[in-house]
Amino acid sequence: GLSFFVVHRLGLLVRFRRTRRSERNWRLMVIFIGVASLSAIPDQFGLYFDQDFGISIIPLIASAVASVIFILMNSIRLAWIVRLSLREKGAAIGLGIAIVVLLVSVFAAIEIPSSLVPDATATRPEIFLRFFSTPLYTATALFLLFGLIYALTSVLSLIFHLPTTGDYRRSTDEMAAMQTLAGLLREVVESEKLHQWAVSTPVESGHANTAWLTVQNLESGSLTPHIVASCNIESERISELCDVTAIHNSIVQTREPVLIQDTLVDTRTRKSKSGEFESLLAIPLSTRTEVLAVLFASRDVVHAFEREDVETIGVFASQATLVLENARLLEAKIERERLANELAIARDVQQRLLPQAMPELPNLNLAASSVAAREVGGDYFDILELDGGELAFIVADVSGKGTSAAFYMAEMQGIFQAVARIESAPDIFLGYTNRALGESLEKNIFVTAVYGTLNSHSGRVSLARAGHTPAVLVDADGNAKLLHSEGLGIGLDRGELFGDVLEVEHIQLRPDDLLVLYTDGVIESRNNEGEEFGYDRLLQTVQGAHNEDAHGVHDAIRQAVDEFAGTNERYDDDLTLLIIKWHGRKTLSGGSTQTSLS
């Protein structure tokens, strides 16, 4: 019973991490032991040496030899040993020795006797077992032999594997770290969690006693690296023990690891005299273009980092780089999506700020459009109908582009809608706008504008230019000229100089005269050679289309710019046009608009 119990238990160990070959060898061993047991049946009746029967003993010997061969082959199946911890190996050695002693004593008690004939006077247990059942005796002996050999090889293997316990445990920890990394790659995690994983992995895998991670916050303009995560050591203590900045900056320049096997002989770590760490390894977490961070690992003995340690920590650093880069790309993607949503909202708001329909005044024909170089531009135009057939109009351009320019444009629209209704005179309106808007403008931001009023009955125009591109006046005969009145941009001067410089120009339109207002996106549009559209081409265009109505002039300018720049979808700068054509008292024409943002 003991032999069969031992075989059953050892079979579980032999077939640990089983393969087809190991499974085959185990089954063949059991089969040959069974055959040897059956081959011993004639011996039960003494027939092997009976001259009358003459049964051959060769099958018994052959099956016994085959059983021993497969016993030896199965005795080297010891894959379970490498997974044991040091304490478990010690316990297994003690248990194995006890099993060896037990099996030796049992095996000695039932060893095959030299005489094949039972001695009636003997009291040894094997005599009774052989006398009771020779096949059972044979199977028991072979199974106990297997148990004894397997126990001996296990004890010896356990002893030889004691020094490798730490290496196996380290490999297991490395594998666990990689599995954790795989999980992080599938998750959306915060930077703090990634940083902590990067520093804890070398320590938990047994390659370092302490570790920390440093990064540079380039966005803040600081070149001094700061510690973002640490393991088994406080950040304040790190600064006391080594010059983190010097090592970090050296790695950023060379993009190569730094290995200090004795911290007492290096000037960057000579502060370390307490034995907290005697060896230091620093490895960059770098992409093709930049160093994202530097991973530091330390040991408490000199010359502690072997080549294998450096390579393994380097693998950790590479994997950490991958995770950090993915996280950074994800954050950038989320930020881009957020900005895109904000721009879409700002774009919608900007479209609502521009006039959706032109006022209908006698004797006037109006056309306008505005195209943003980006999703949100800084150009603005508006027309407001006042009492007595008066018309207030404005075209403005905020320096810069994007959402900030659009916000100032919205503020400009609010001022125009409120102030022009109360005081429409150009000098008063622009003076108030300069004071009101100048208080909110950033120092590097200003606004140019051309503002005026037009009496639709008399054709009287009052026009002022605050640093804006000059308006174009085209008479009925096709003569065109630029209206160069003086004026500073809004926000450039917030004192009295703005009002002193500002010049108001009064113009009396004749029937079919044209007034063209525009932003610098028209004249600064460039072709493939980098040449600007310029004032001359603008004047030639409006002269050629002066007989057209406001829409015709508008379309002629847009077409000329598109053909010159080679595009009709996107421009180098925001492009805004406002065309006013006064027909005099001879007709009544409703106004209309073409307004677009793209």
Mean pLDDT of 537-552: 94
| 426 phi-psi bin (left φ>0, alpha ψ -120 to 50, beta other) | alpha
For residues 184 and 242, the model is more confident at 242
Please state, rounded to an integer, the average pLDDT across all residues of the chain.
Answer: 81
Q: Which of 35, 36, 40, 31 is nearest to 129 (CA)?
A: 40
Looking at the chain, the whole-number percentage of residues with pLDDT higher than 70 is: 81
Tell me which residue has tokens 């983190």. 244
Residue 591 has pLDDT above 50, yes or no: no
pLDDT tens digits, residue range 483-535? 999 999 999 988 889 999 999 999 999 999 999 999 998 998 888 888 999 99
Superfamily for the 354-586 domain: PPM-type phosphatase domain (3.60.40.10)
H or E segment at 42?
Answer: helix 41-44
14 has a pLDDT exceeding 90 = no
- Select from 1.10.8.60, 3.30.450.40, 3.90.320.10, 3.30.1360.120 the CATH code of 190-331: 3.30.450.40
- For residue 223, what pLDDT band results from cuts at 50, 70 and 90? low
Q: Worst-scoring range by mean pLDDT, 55-69, 121-135, 379-393?
A: 121-135
Mean pLDDT of 13-38: 84
pLDDT grade for 94, boundaries at 50, 70 and 90: confident
Question: Residue 494's pLDDT is what?
Answer: 80
513 contact partners, CB below 8 Å, separation of at least 6: 459, 473, 474, 475, 476, 581, 582
Residue 480, CA distances (Å) to 360, 536, 545, 548 in order: 26, 10, 11, 14
Give the pLDDT of residue 314: 87
Q: Name the residue among 60, 58, 74 with its Cα closest to residue 26.
A: 74
Residues 160-181 pLDDT 10s: 777 665 555 555 555 555 555 5
- With vertex at residue 286, the alpha carbon angle to CA 284 and CA 291, rounded to the nearest 5 degrees, is 80
For residues 554-580, average pLDDT: 83
Highest mean pLDDT among 43-47, 260-264, 374-378: 260-264
Inter-residue contact 550 to 582 (CB < 8 Å): no
Token digits for 548? 């057209």
Q: For tokens 């379309």, what's the residue?
A: 555
**188-200: per-residue pLDDT in tens?**
556 787 888 888 8
Which one of 16-25, 92-101, 227-236 scores highest in mean pLDDT?
Answer: 227-236
Q: Between residues 320 and 232, which one has the greater pLDDT?
A: 232
Q: Is the pLDDT of residue 382 over 90?
A: yes
* pLDDT (average), residues 208-230: 80
Q: Residue 575 corresponds to which amino acid?
A: L
pLDDT of residue 75: 84
Q: How confident is the model at residue 39 (pLDDT cuts 50, 70, 90)?
A: confident
* DSSP symbols for 357-385: S----TTEEEEEEEE-SSSS--EEEEEEE
pLDDT average, residue stretch 412-440: 92
Where along the chain do its domains lie?
A: 2-167, 190-331, 354-586
What pLDDT sits at residue 391?
Answer: 93
Which two three-digit tokens encode residue 555? 């379309």
Report, in angstroms and rounded to the nearest whole number, the Rg of the chain calculated over CA atoms. 47
- Is it the case that residue 150 has pLDDT exceeding 50? yes
Q: What is the mean pLDDT of residues 67-92?
A: 81
User: Given this model, what pLDDT does residue 480 score?
Assistant: 94
How confident is the model at residue 183, as a pLDDT? 56
